[in-house]
Amino acid sequence: MMTTAPTVAEIADIARRARIQILKAVAHAKGGHVGGPYSAVDMLAALYFRVLDVRPDEPDWPDRDRFVLSKGHSSIALYTVLAMRGYFDIEELATFDAIDSRLQGHPDMTITPGIDMSSGSLGLGFAGALGIALGARALGKDFTTYVMLGDGECNEGIVWEGAHVANRYHLDNVVAIVDQNNLQQFGWRGDTATERLTPYVGDELAGRWRAFGWHVLEVDGHDIGAFLNTVEKAQAVSESPVVIVAHTIKGKGVSFMEDNYRWHSRVPTEEEFATAMQELGETKAGER
């Protein structure tokens, strides 16, 4: 475990190694998601290794910053980063999705250290995160609650009910991050460039958050340095809730997975697994 905060290049390498562990866990479990975890993992690594004030050896420390992965189907990305940060052993990732594992397909706050809110039913994690932020205000606590949503998740009505409430209460102790990879579960009708349906077009998604009174920042979610700067800007926003719309690529990091909805949830064949490991720079000794 590192004792000083890692550099941007070191975080990028943590995310690369996390991608290796994620695919290993999914291949071992013979189930799980890959595309969404790969679009989110650079930001998760940046958050856990540079942003969040947390204590992995004391996961329930009351004053910790909170993080909610509202797009809970990307749980394996969060578990991997938590393990790399020291919440539990990397070996435990091999139990992912097993019936008696702490690492279920969707995060369960009652069994897994480091999980602040159970999630998986799209939209509910976001509402829970806003509740945590309102609770912090009521208790006079000054920690920040971070919550990550998918862009497809933003189709859920509860997201906009929550966005309305957060603005109504001028919640400025919450930072939402939308992982805008422009793909949901099933891709697009016809699967051609011209027929491709994206959940949001152009400024539509950012504009919607603006219309709900949120301060909107935009960034490339794979540019770790830029993301860290944007989080700093988000922390400085007061009087209104703030959302970072992060432009990402589903399946980022492996050529044949990138921008391909079929990798939303898919187990690699042996050949695909080998190619992916090679592209991710897996060494013979195995990655830790």
Binding stretches for ligand TPP (CB under 6 A): 35-36, 39, 71, 73-74, 120-122, 150-153, 179, 181, 183-185, 250, 264
Instruction: Please state the closest distance from residue 21 (CB atom) to ligand TPP, in A.
Output: 18
Residue (20 or 76) nearer to ligand TPP, CB: 76
**Which residue, among 74, 71, 75, 179, has the nearest Cα to 129 in the 3D structure?**
71
How many CB atoms are closer than 10 A to CB 189? 9
**Which residue, among 264, 261, 248, 250, has the nearest Cα to 26 in the 3D structure?**
264
Residue (47 or 136) nearer to ligand TPP, CB: 47
Instruction: Please state the closest distance from residue 247 (CB atom) to ligand TPP, in A.
Output: 12
Instruction: Please state the closest distance from residue 136 (CB atom) to ligand TPP, in A.
Output: 26
Two structure tokens written together for 276: 């992916």
Distance from C-alpha of 235 to C-alpha of 43, rounded to nearest angstrom: 16
Residue (36 or 241) nearer to ligand TPP, CB: 36
Instruction: Please state the closest distance from residue 121 (CB atom) to ligand TPP, in A.
Output: 5
Instruction: Please state the closest distance from residue 161 (CB atom) to ligand TPP, in A.
Output: 14
Q: Residue 108: CB partners within 8 Å, gap ≥ 6?
A: 102, 115, 118
Instruction: Please state the closest distance from residue 270 (CB atom) to ligand TPP, in A.
Output: 24
Residue (207 or 281) nearer to ligand TPP, CB: 207
Cβ–Cβ under 8 Å, residues 216 and 149: no
Residue (129 or 136) nearer to ligand TPP, CB: 129
Instruction: Please state the closest distance from residue 147 (CB atom) to ligand TPP, in A.
Output: 13
Residue (34 or 136) nearer to ligand TPP, CB: 34
Residue (185 or 229) nearer to ligand TPP, CB: 185
Two structure tokens written together for 39: 């679009």
Dihedral Cα 176, 211, 170, 238, nearest 10 deg: 70
Closest chain position to ligand TPP (CB): 150
